[in-house]
Structure 1
Amino acid sequence: MKRFLRTLVLAALLAPAAVLATPVDINTADATTLESVKGIGPAKAQAILDYRKQHGPFASTADLAKVPGIGTRTLEQIGDQVTVGAPAARKAAAKPATASKP
């Protein structure tokens, strides 16, 4: 039992930081933040910034496939590490505005 617990603790300590980290918002991140995503280096980070500047914000993380140098394999690798905005912000944006009564 002690051996099992030691193994479990060791596994927890060695777990990748990406699993515990908050996803990076690809619509607001700078190059350094994008590079913190495992699978995104300086060239891909710059390509994301260039694409975003030319085409505007990404509607979904799947739109990263439109960025030169990012393909299916990269999307599969980074999918859980990126987002297109904070969940609360997306929820608020999706909620229709209501007119207040005088």
Structure 2
Amino acid sequence: MFRKILVTAAMLAAFGHAYAAVDVNTANEDALRGIKGIGPAKAKAILDERTAHGPFKDPADLGKRVKGMGGHTVERLQAEGLAVGPAGAAANAQTAASSQAKGTTVSADASKANPTVTVKK
């Protein structure tokens, strides 16, 4: 009985983690690297492009502006939890709302209009 409860809890935790979206327009390097398929070089390229030319409007904009990220790559990264553009903002807001209920904090950086979510472990 205990084993079944433990397995169920592990599966629920895995599914919850898989659906936690990382918004490309607000994420830091560590959050981007948490997405399967984004390493240190790709995370740096994304951050450099975002810093130089502003937020990404949509997945196609991300694919055009960051070298080595074509349409299929962006689609695969979205399946892994990367959010881009207006849909990403909605997912980020939903994640922030659920995080507040779980005891995490949401703070707004003065230099950014989008909130960032800090998870305390």
TM-score bin, normalised by smaller chain: 0.5 to 0.7
Cα offset, 1:54, TM superposition: 1.4
Could you say which structure has the greater relative contact order, defined with CA pairs below 8 angstroms and 6 or more residues apart?
1
The 5 A counterparts of 1:9-88 are: 12=11, 19-20=18-19, 22-66=20-64, 67-80=66-79, 81-83=81-83, 84=85, 85-87=88-90
Checking the alignment, whether the CA contact within 8 Å between 1:24 and 1:34 is kept in structure 2 is yes
Q: Name the structure where strand makes up a greater proportion of residues.
A: 2
Checking the alignment, whether the CA contact within 8 Å between 1:39 and 1:78 is kept in structure 2 is yes
**Unaligned 5+ residue runs, structure 2?**
94-121
The TM-score with structure 2 as length reference comes to 0.54
Q: Counterpart of 1:97?
A: none
Checking the alignment, whether the CA contact within 8 Å between 2:22 and 2:31 is kept in structure 1 is yes
**Unaligned 5+ residue runs, structure 1?**
91-102
- RMSD of equivalent CA atoms: 3.2
The TM-score with structure 1 as length reference comes to 0.62
Structure 1 runs (4+) deviating above 6 angstroms are none
